[in-house]
Amino acid sequence: MKIVLILFSVVFLSGCLSLPPQAPEKPGVYKQVHAVNLSNSLLVKQLLLDQHAEWKGTPYKLGGLNKKGIDCSGFIFMTFKLKLGLAIPRSTELQVKEGIEVSKDQLRTGDLVFFKTGLSVRHVGVYLGDSKFLHASKRVGVTISSLKNSYWSSHYWVSKRM
């Protein structure tokens, strides 16, 4: 009986040790889509602009994964999952290890753009074309910015094609 009680306690308590990711504010709001061919730039751009329209202004929240607050890598993770039907890692640290490196002058819609914004701080967005990228900014939340902006151009690090 004592062993059963101990086993039950271990099983019950171990479920409390791992926190699930934040759920959407309304269950069932997000649906999985089929994988999109990223070489179809027109389709990818339209899907990314749709994502911007749906998430525009969502505030930045470190670790957030819903419209109450989201961080940059979480926004890219959700965008690839929900709009492009592709699974990529959740963190910027792991996202930058994926795909193949592309030069800034060879960027294509859907490529990830990475920035070094501090000694160990990294930021990520997804390229839209025409020097614009979609991302979750700490200052204004989900937004579109320009790679030509002096801040972003001076902090540009690397780009990856998934």
Q: Which of 16, 52, 72, 155 is labelled catalytic?
A: 72
- Residue 161: CB atoms within 10 A of its CB come to 17
CB atoms within 10 A of CB 85: 13
In the residue annotation, 72 being an active-site residue is answered as: yes
Torsion on CA atoms 102, 106, 110, 115, rounded to nearest 10: 60
Give Cα separations from 42 to 13, 102, 112, 125 (angstroms): 49, 19, 16, 18
Beta bridge partners of 137: 141
- 135 among known catalytic residues: yes
Indicate if 34 belongs to the active site. Answer: no
Catalytic residues: 72, 123, 135
